[in-house]
Amino acid sequence: MTSPPRARRPAAVSDAAAVSDTAAVPDDAVTIGAGTIGAGVPDTKAARTRERVLDAAAEVLSRKGYAGTRLAEIADVAGVQAPAIYYYYASRDELIEEVIRRGQERAQGHVEAALAQLPAGASAMTKICAAVEAHLRAVLQLSDYATAAVRNIGQMPDEMRKRLVAAQARYGILWRSLFEEARARGEIDPDVDLHAAQLLVIGALNSAPEWWNPKRVPLEDVVTTALTITCRGLAVSWPLPGTEGTT
């Protein structure tokens, strides 16, 4: 498919980053808002335009979904004509894939940074709480990239999804290890299935961008609520309800 991708295309700054999975976005590159120029990216006009297109794509993608995303709309948001996009990206899919990949990297980087700040002896449940909070803040605050990632895996062409899911494996493993550590230390209720619990929790967090409205519930309240529910829900210290109503 990838015949020499157009002589005129400039060395795409993040072709490398898009493939490498060792180079997580450095902490200082994780910021709130729109254009985050990663470390090492030359700040030329072209690089900025490229970034602007990427930001626009993230915005549209998070709003319209994979198949509903139009290049024309992206171009419009970026303040450019549609064909200009091809100067930076070989195809619509390449652009979209980079957005999602970056979203994943950012969320993961944010969570890892939060975990790294915990004191050495933190309990497993404390770590889970920190991860929950960081992930939630990532999808709610960290620009549209994380949202785009979260809302669109699952509706993309198989090939692309496969690659993206593979790229995300490390993040899944991170979460799993948190849960396994908690279970090993007896901090998680024996009735909960670890895998189901992990995905339910992440699912709850990922749903937040769909409904959260800062005017209705302040961010901090959402965070508190999520922390309260998930961490207490997982923990072992409360008795289960009787069999009432649960058949």
Partner DNA sequence: GGCGCTTTCTAATCTAAATTAGATTAAGCA
Partner DNA sequence: TGCTTAATCTAATTTAGATTAGAAAGCGCC
Residue with smaller CB distance to DNA, 80 or 194: 80
The item of a copy of itself, DNA, none sharing an interface with residue 12, based on CB under 5 to 8 Å by kind, is none
| Residues whose CB falls within 8 Å of the CB of residue 167, separated by 6 or more in sequence, listed in order | 21, 101, 104
CA dihedral 142, 145, 151, 157 (to 10 degrees): -160
The item of DNA, a copy of itself, none sharing an interface with residue 211, based on CB under 5 to 8 Å by kind, is a copy of itself
Half-sphere exposure of residue 92: CA atoms within 13 angstroms, side-chain side: 15
Residue with smaller CB distance to DNA, 3 or 213: 3
Minimum distance of a copy of itself from residue 179's CB (angstroms): 12
Residue with smaller CB distance to DNA, 46 or 173: 46
The item of a copy of itself, DNA, none sharing an interface with residue 10, based on CB under 5 to 8 Å by kind, is DNA
C-alpha R_g of the chain: 20
The item of DNA, a copy of itself, none sharing an interface with residue 195, based on CB under 5 to 8 Å by kind, is a copy of itself
Residue with smaller CB distance to a copy of itself, 88 or 175: 175
User: What is the rounded CA–CA span in Å between residue 179 and residue 189?
Assistant: 11
The item of a copy of itself, DNA, none sharing an interface with residue 185, based on CB under 5 to 8 Å by kind, is none
Which residues sit at the interface with a copy of itself, rule CB under 8 A? 64-68, 118, 122, 125-127, 129-130, 133, 151, 154-155, 189, 191-193, 195-197, 199-208, 210-212, 216-217, 221-222, 224-235, 237-242, 244-246
- C-beta of residue 177 within 8 angstroms of C-beta of residue 113: no
The item of DNA, a copy of itself, none sharing an interface with residue 202, based on CB under 5 to 8 Å by kind, is a copy of itself
Residue with smaller CB distance to a copy of itself, 10 or 157: 157
CA dihedral 17, 22, 28, 33 (to 10 degrees): 50
Which residues sit at the interface with DNA, rule CB under 7 A? 8, 10, 44-46, 49, 69-72, 80-84, 86-87, 91-93
- C-beta of residue 105 within 8 angstroms of C-beta of residue 26: no
Residue 79: CB atoms within 10 Å: 11
Minimum distance of a copy of itself from residue 181's CB (angstroms): 15
Dihedrals phi, psi of 224, to nearest 5 degrees: -60, -45
The residues facing 188 across adjacent strands are: 235
Residue with smaller CB distance to a copy of itself, 20 or 70: 70
CA dihedral 114, 116, 121, 138 (to 10 degrees): 20
